[in-house]
């Protein structure tokens, strides 16, 4: 019996078999592990990249000085919570990065001080390998560097990369020739041409990317940072203008005694800084970086390596998906779906002959014929070994048919023209009816195989390229997102149209060449659309490089992986649809939390402004709709809420807002309703609850 190695779906390093990663989004142990990193990020040299939180840190440092000069419980409480606001913001980013570092630790185990044996027999340390070097790797040895198999076939343990213990097959030629340094050959021997540059191996890049070391801010993120910086400047100017207004107001009402918020010198520094920190968009400023890191992390959890955050963001804006037919939309192996007998032949007779001619056929198509005959017509499967006296006729490119000679019978199956010629050569007369059956099956998108016995045609086997279950529903979802799907295939237009109609794609490109793919991508991009596609072969590299989101298969060639900006470690082409959904989820999460952050500033106005000026302008007390206990408790409650809401939203930033396929207008309406209205209501409730808890503390009356 022959044992086959099958590539099983891979798992992320550290991922459990049930698909869950250990530890929740707010796992206390993870928070504690990330705390030192959060404290290190207090360094202004690090924090300057986040202008909003840098302003908060400067404010916290200034209030610390003021609290030392004029100590009070209120002053030190404000100081503590302002510093906690900065720490919580850093903690959000540190937790997101920490999840990637845990994955990087697993990947580092794959890096060993391996030795490389060159073709000449010379042994050298793996780091000394250069592009173009040729090495030989045998069973039990570590592959010393990234490259392509140029000779041999072997089973390879890639668990260090994918987390999956099942070995995979790597062989020269085709689209399964790429090997990764640090993986282990389990059987046989292969010759590998090294394609990596020193220090730039696939594992090195993976480690840097999942740790966030190479994460560059995306255009969308940069634009949002500019908006946040502009809002911070506006609120900074608005807050500064409070000082002359307060001095003038106090001068107009000299009889009013000095208070916590208002003295003859204007608004106290601690209150002014509290107002600034509460009004600037600290929530989204604190979570923005974590949202971007978490987006890449969600891809890594699905065994997709994004070479840049820009690629993840682009996936969210994709408007055209290019999908290979074989292996993506269809199962990839044509399967028997119907036996169509010729005139005067029963289905049972055709099924028996079709099964008999396929017993020695080890192709997926041949095995499907045997199984279909057994399941549909109750024919017992006969093992080829049990028919020792049978003469098996293998398929060749010249004859384009296969079959068996048994007990005086000669049965053949294969291409219509080849089998009909064989029938004529044996004195038979193929009928026009069979030609009609062949044409009908071809027109429907199927592949016809004619079955004949010496001298006569028995009928036609209809091989179907089976569309994967649920593909039509997924393409319907894409359509609701506003994404156009295009199937790419090398089939003729008739077959391509039949498959496209069954799968439900919007368009198709038949008889596609690499040049055709590239031309189609450029045409789509000229119309202002972002294009995503998958590929695994060297001939896909130009199209992968041209597309905005190019997903290369890990089993593919090095050229494909270098050209794409994402690598799917599972080599599952349908994952492109998930990548688009994750990209959209990233954009929606960023938009939702920005909406929430700006909206919740409204409640802080109602908390702090009346506390500052109610003594001078009693009419402002009408704005104290929360009926907060005192100016001190109102200001401290707003500052505390401003810090705690960051911690409360860390899980949402890491997990992402749930995405439901719908139009942009519906998504906008939902965000405004849930996060806009929620951002207004939540602070009113939160600040009031905190006020009730702290109003009896010293100095709060």
Residue list for the binding site: 361, 365, 395-402, 413, 536, 540
User: Which residues are documented as binding site for Mg(2+)?
Assistant: 536, 540
Residues tagged in the binding site annotation for ATP: 361, 365, 395-402, 413
Which one is catalytic: 157, 324, 465, 548? 324
CA distance 181 to 592: 41
Q: What CA–CA distance (Å, rounded) separates 353 from 387? A: 15
Give the Cα separation of 127 and 618 in Å (integer).
Answer: 76
Distance CA 701, CA 632 (A): 7
| Structure tokens belonging to residue 324 | 């290979």
| Spatial separation of the C-alpha atoms in residues 45 and 228, rounded to whole Å | 19
**Cα–Cα distance list, 521 to 2, 311, 312, 464, 555 (Å):** 43, 16, 19, 29, 23
Contact (Cβ atoms closer than 8 angstroms) between residue 477 and residue 467: no
- For residue 245, CA distances in Å to 248, 252, 425 come to 5, 11, 107
**Residues whose CB falls within 8 Å of the CB of residue 391, separated by 6 or more in sequence, listed in order:** 404, 405, 406
Buried/exposed code over 217-235 (b: 16+ C-beta within 10 A; e: otherwise): bbebbeebbeebbebbeeb
**Is 324 assigned a catalytic role?**
yes
Asked if 459 and 344 touch (Cβ cutoff 8 Å), the reply is: no
Strands 168-171 and 134-138: unpaired
Residue 256 contacts residue 250 (beta carbons within 8 Å): yes
8 A C-beta contact, residue 277 and residue 82: yes
Contact 412, 420 (CB under 8 A): no
Q: Which helix (H) or strand (E) holds 650?
A: helix 631-655
CA distance 21 to 531: 31
Cβ neighbours of residue 319 under 8 Å, at least 6 residues apart? 482, 483, 484, 529, 530, 531
Query: Which tokens sit at 302?
Result: 């699905």
User: Whole-angstrom Cα distance, residue 300 to residue 11?
Assistant: 10
The catalytic residues are 324
């Amino acid at each position: 019996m022959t044992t086959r190695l099958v590539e099983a779906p891979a798992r992320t390093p550290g991922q459990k078999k049930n698909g869950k990663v250990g530890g929740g989004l707010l796992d206390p142990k993870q928070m504690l592990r990330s705390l030192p990193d959060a404290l290190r990020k207090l360094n202004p040299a690090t924090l300057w990249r986040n202008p909003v939180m840098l302003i908060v840190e400067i404010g916290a440092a200034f209030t610390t000085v003021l609290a030392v000069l004029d100590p009070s419980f209120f002053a030190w409480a404000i100081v503590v919570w302002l510093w906690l606001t900065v720490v919580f913001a850093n903690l959000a980013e540190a937790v997101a990065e920490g999840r990637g570092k845990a994955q990087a630790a697993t990947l580092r185990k794959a890096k060993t001080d391996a030795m490389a044996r060159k073709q000449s027999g010379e042994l050298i340390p793996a780091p000394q390998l250069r592009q173009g070097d040729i090495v030989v790797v045998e069973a039990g040895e570590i592959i010393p560097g990234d490259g392509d198999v140029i000779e041999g076939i072997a089973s390879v343990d890639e668990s260090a990369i994918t987390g999956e213990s099942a070995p995979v097959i790597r062989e020269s030629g085709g689209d399964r020739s790429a090997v990764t340094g640090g993986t282990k050959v389990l059987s046989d021997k292969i010759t590998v041409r090294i394609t990596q540059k020193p220090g730039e191996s696939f594992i090195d890049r993976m480690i840097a990317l999942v740790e966030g070391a190479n994460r560059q801010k995306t255009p969308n993120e940069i634009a949002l940072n500019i908006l946040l910086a502009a809002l911070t400047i506006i609120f900074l100017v608005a807050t500064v203008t409070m000082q002359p207004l307060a001095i003038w107001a106090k001068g107009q009402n000299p009889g009013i005694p000095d208070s916590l918020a208002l003295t003859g010198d204007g608004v106290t520094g601690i209150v002014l800084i509290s107002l600034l920190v509460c009004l600037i968009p600290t929530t989204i400023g604190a979570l923005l970086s974590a949202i971007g890191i978490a987006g890449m992390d969600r891809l890594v959890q699905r065994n997709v390596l994004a070479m840049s955050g820009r690629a993840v963001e682009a996936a969210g804006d994709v408007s055209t998906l290019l999908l290979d037919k074989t292996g993506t939309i269809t199962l990839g192996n044509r399967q028997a779906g119907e036996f169509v007998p010729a005139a005067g032949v029963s289905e049972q007779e055709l099924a028996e002959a079709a099964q008999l001619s396929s017993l020695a056929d080890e192709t997926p198509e041949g095995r499907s014929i045997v199984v279909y005959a057994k399941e549909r017509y109750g024919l017992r499967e006969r093992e080829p070994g049990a028919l020792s006296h049978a003469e098996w006729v293998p398929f060749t490119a010249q004859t384009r048919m296969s079959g068996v000679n048994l007990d005086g019978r000669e049965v053949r199956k294969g291409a219509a023209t080849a089998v009909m010629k064989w029938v004529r050569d044996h004195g038979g007369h193929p009928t026009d009816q069979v030609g009609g059956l062949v044409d009908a099956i071809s027109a429907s998108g199927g592949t016809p195989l004619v079955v004949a016995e010496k001298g006569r045609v028995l009928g036609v086997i209809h091989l179907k390229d089976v569309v994967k279950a649920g593909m039509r529903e997924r393409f319907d979802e894409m359509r609701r997102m506003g994404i156009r799907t295009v199937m790419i295939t090398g089939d003729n237009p008739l077959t391509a149209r039949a498959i496209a109609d069954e799968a439900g794609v919007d368009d198709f490109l038949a008889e596609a060449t690499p040049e055709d793919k590239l031309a189609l991508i450029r045409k789509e991009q000229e119309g202002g659309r972002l294009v995503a596609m998958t590929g695994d072969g060297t001939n896909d590299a130009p199209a992968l490089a041209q597309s905005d989101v190019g997903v290369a298969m890990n089993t593919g060639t090095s050229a494909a992986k270098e050209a794409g900006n994402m690598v799917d470690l599972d080599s599952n082409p349908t994952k492109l649809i998930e990548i688009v959904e994750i990209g959209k989820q990233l954009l929606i999460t960023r938009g939702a939390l920005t909406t929430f952050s700006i909206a919740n500033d409204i409640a802080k106005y109602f908390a702090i402004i009346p506390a500052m000026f109610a003594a001078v302008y009693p009419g402002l007390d009408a704005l104290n709709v929360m009926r907060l206990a005192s100016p001190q408790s109102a200001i401290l409650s707003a500052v505390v809420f401003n810090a705690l809401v960051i911690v409360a939203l860390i899980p949402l930033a890491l997990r992402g807002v749930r995405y439901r396929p719908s139009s942009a207008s519906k998504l906008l309406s939902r965000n405004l309703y849930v996060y806009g209205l929620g951002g207004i209501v939540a602070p009113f409730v939160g600040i009031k609850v905190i006020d009730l808890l702290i109003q009896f503390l010293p100095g709060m009356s």
